[in-house]
């Protein structure tokens, strides 16, 4: 079965640096196959015959490999396909100042957000607000990244 592991907060600000080649190796050590990373922000597509305790196994291996805890959220290929099929931003008029985001929640499900950025309001303002409301157990991706992930999972 195909899965997506979403890692929270890596390669941001230089404090939690994770090389993608080493990340891929980490997943392969766990016995996962067809491991692919996307971008530098912690998106890993992989196949696994088992589905129990994936999050816990991955988090433990990541901490052993990189020396710090990294929160991981897991989604199946089917869940990502359903999200894409919903097309949550179909009613949004896209302009150069509009940013589309999907926030993945720990108990499943997602929160979709369309924001207008300006010199006064940036995407980091959104992330701060989401963290205050939902805690640091969420992770957010740009909608274009989610589309690319879905293509990797085909």
Say how many CA atoms lie within 13 Å of 106 toward its Cβ. Answer: 11
All domains in the chain, ordered by first residue: 2-79 (3.30.70.1280), 83-152 (no CATH)
Per-residue pLDDT of the chain (154 residues; tens, 9 = 90+): 999 999 998 987 777 889 999 999 999 999 999 999 999 889 999 999 988 899 999 999 999 999 999 999 999 999 999 999 999 999 999 999 999 999 999 988 999 999 988 777 667 778 889 999 999 999 999 999 999 999 999 9
What are 115's strand-pairing partners? 99
Structure tokens at 133: 């409301």
Instruction: State the Cα–Cα distance between residues 36 and 45, nearest whole angstrom.
Output: 5
Closest CA to 114 of 146, 92, 140, 145: 92
């Amino acid at each position: 079965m195909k899965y997506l592991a979403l890692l929270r907060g890596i390669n941001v600000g230089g404090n939690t640096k994770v090389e993608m080649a080493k990340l891929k190796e980490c997943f392969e050590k766990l016995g996962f196959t067809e491991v692919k990373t996307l971008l530098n922000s912690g998106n890993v597509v992989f196949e696994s015959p088992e589905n129990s305790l994936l999050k816990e196994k991955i988090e433990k291996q990541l901490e052993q490999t990189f020396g710090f805890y990294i929160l991981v959220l897991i989604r199946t290929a089917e869940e990502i396909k359903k999200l894409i099929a919903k097309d949550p931003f179909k009613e949004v008029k896209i302009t150069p100042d509009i940013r589309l985001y999907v926030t993945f929640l720990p108990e499943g499900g997602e929160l979709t957000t369309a924001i207008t950025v300006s010199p006064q309001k940036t995407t980091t303002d959104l992330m701060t607000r989401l963290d205050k409301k939902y805690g640091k157990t969420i992770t957010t991706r740009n909608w274009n990244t989610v589309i690319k992930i879905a293509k990797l999972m085909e």
